[in-house]
Amino acid sequence: MRIAVAQFAAGMDKPANLEKITALAGRAAEAGARVAVFPEGAMCDFGKSTDELHGQAEPLDGRFVHALSELAARSSLTLVAGMFESIPGDRLIYNSAVVVDPGKGVIGAYRKHHLFDAFGEIESERFRAGREDPLLVEIDGFVVAVVICYDIRFASFIEHAADGGAEVLLAPAAWVAGPLKEEHLSVLARARAIDNTIYVAVGGQIGSTYTGRSVIVDPLGATLAGLGDAEGVATAEITRERLRAARARLPVLAQRRAAAAALESRR
């Protein structure tokens, strides 16, 4: 399966963002991709205030997801994209990612579990944390986990997805720029791949606030494709043969499961 990561700078104009998504999805489809990962906040940027962002938030059956469903069908692509999800009766919203299949429509949605209260940011003032484990869906025969941005810093959270069968990790991101932050994203994407012998694909925001650096990493931590800080699409082929070979050479996943089973048997 060929996967794509697509990065662009989202503004507060949702129709303009959809135009960008449509153009980048077209490039991904032309390259032969079957799934494309777009940034966290692909629907719109984070805005300047809670009220501004609250006004932009939509339900999962709103216009943005409907437009993604139509785009997925037209392009024969599974789309993974970040959005801001409204919560009826709540001044806070969810930072969500939706997975849209070209034939079935929405096949899953994930709400960011770990909010970005770090490096001077306090995301919890604007968002409600999701309670779900990483979302698991099937795409072209691969078991795929979906998380969002800051979640990738939490190794045990990603391990839980791999222990549950995940073979690929897709992560929409809006990685905030700052000293050494670009290196953090690169290191973490490779570390989560190596920790769990899984493929990792991060699709990131660009612009003055964010790092870009979208990347696709193989199960032994080798970078297969990536982008710098410009708008664009990168693709890479992922194969079950490469996954099996990596897990045979580095059986950490099987060993972790065996250790957990042994511990459970002693209780």
Strand partners, 169: 145, 200
DSSP at 107: E
Burial of 240 (0-12, 13-18, 19+ CB in 10 A): exposed
Secondary structure (3-state) at 247? helix
What is the residue whose two structure tokens read 């629907």? 43
Query: Would you give per-residue pLDDT tens digits along the chain (267 residues)?
Result: 999 999 999 999 999 999 999 999 999 999 999 999 999 999 999 988 888 999 999 999 999 999 999 999 999 999 999 999 999 999 999 999 999 999 999 999 999 999 999 999 999 999 999 999 999 999 999 999 999 999 999 999 999 999 999 999 999 999 999 998 999 999 999 999 999 999 999 999 999 999 999 999 999 999 999 999 999 999 999 999 999 999 999 999 999 989 888 877 777
Selecting among 14, 20, 40, 44, the annotated active-site residue is 40
Instruction: Say which amino acid occupies 182.
Output: E
Selecting among 20, 44, 149, 159, the annotated active-site residue is 149
The whole-number pLDDT of residue 131 equals 95
The whole-number pLDDT of residue 261 equals 83
44 labelled catalytic: no
Characterise 176 by phi-psi region: left (phi > 0), alpha (psi -120 to 50), beta (else). Answer: beta
How crowded is residue 132: how many other Cβ atoms within 10 Å of its Cβ?
13
Supply the range of the domain harboring residue 165. 2-265
In total, the chain counts a number of residues equal to: 267
Q: What is the pTM of this model?
A: 0.97
d(CA 215, CA 172): 11
40 labelled catalytic: yes
Instruction: Say which amino acid occupies 51.
Output: D
Calculate the alpha carbon distances from 56 to 17, 41, 63, 217, 233 in Å: 13, 11, 11, 33, 26
Assess contact for 222 and 194: CB atoms under 8 A.
no
We report the CATH number of the domain holding residue 180 as: 3.60.110.10
Assess contact for 28 and 36: CB atoms under 8 A.
yes
Selecting among 44, 112, 159, 167, the annotated active-site residue is 112
Structurally, how many domains does the chain consist of?
Answer: 1
Give the closest residue to 5 by CA, choosing from 225, 182, 209, 194.
225
